Chain A
Amino acid sequence: DAKTTQPNSMESNEEEPVHLPCNHSTISGTDYIHWYRQLPSQGPEYVIHGLTSNVNNRMASLAIAEDRKSSTLILHRATLRDAAVYYCILNTGGFKTIFGAGTRLFVKA
């Protein structure tokens, strides 16, 4: 499975945008880039996914580098409820999803 690298933690101020980076230099052409987040004592929550083009949904935006070796999850206005561990995961053809360590996001009021 192709691996991803994320910073261990990041900090943001409330109401400000947050850019969460993810490196995936060994990504293959068929790998989808998925982002999930996990709030304390809860199961992970699907956030967004993409293949080649940038994506937007009601939760976030996903910016994918042209060479697809990195991506950035963008939270446009962080709230205290966005404090969570964010996981960037590659998935090909419906195979198993392996979680890395993720990025713990702290949001300051």
Chain B
Amino acid sequence: GAVVSQHPSWVICKSGTSVKIECRSLDFQATTMFWYRQFPKQSLMLMATSNEGSKATYEQGVEKDKFLINHASLTLSTLTVTSAHPEDSSFYICSARAVPGTSGFHGAYEQYFGPGTRLTVT
């Protein structure tokens, strides 16, 4: 249980184009999903928190108009990198927090992470 998928696993795009990354919780419901970015040899940096049916909360320094997040259902969140530039090249990781009290989870707000999406902007 507790599987989170991301699609695509890697993508190459040209500068100025937009890229959409999907994050799905496959076998559980997640009211909250998180998006992280990770540069080589660095730790994960939280970009935004999204709750189903409401606007995402962005961390300081993250441009909300550039990184569009949509959390339309309890199992799907999307991140769209608009007008991508080479400096946006990174490893993007989503995570989903299980609803406490649901079957199989301990109510400790543990998060389950997707496998990541490697974005390369040329």
- With both beta carbons as reference points, the residue of chain B lying nearest to A32 in the complex is identified as B108
Interface of A is mostly: loop
Segment at the interface with B among A21-29, A74-82, A99-107: A99-107
Q: Does A49 contact B (CB under 8 A)?
A: yes
Interface of B is mostly: strand
Contact surface of A with B, Cβ cutoff 8 Å: 32, 34, 36, 38, 41-46, 49, 51, 85, 87, 91, 93-94, 96-102
Contact surface of B with A, Cβ cutoff 8 Å: 2, 4, 6, 32, 34, 36, 43-46, 49, 91, 93, 95, 97, 100, 106, 108-116, 118
Instruction: List, in ascending order, chain A residues with CB within 8 A of B116's CB.
Output: 41-43
Is the CB–CB distance between B2 and A44 below 8 Å? no
Is the CB–CB distance between A49 and B113 below 8 Å? no
Is the CB–CB distance between A97 and B114 below 8 Å? no
Is the CB–CB distance between A45 and B113 below 8 Å? yes
Is the CB–CB distance between B115 and A94 below 8 Å? no
Q: A49-B106, A94-B109, A98-B46 are in contact. Are A43 and B93 (CB under 8 A)?
A: yes
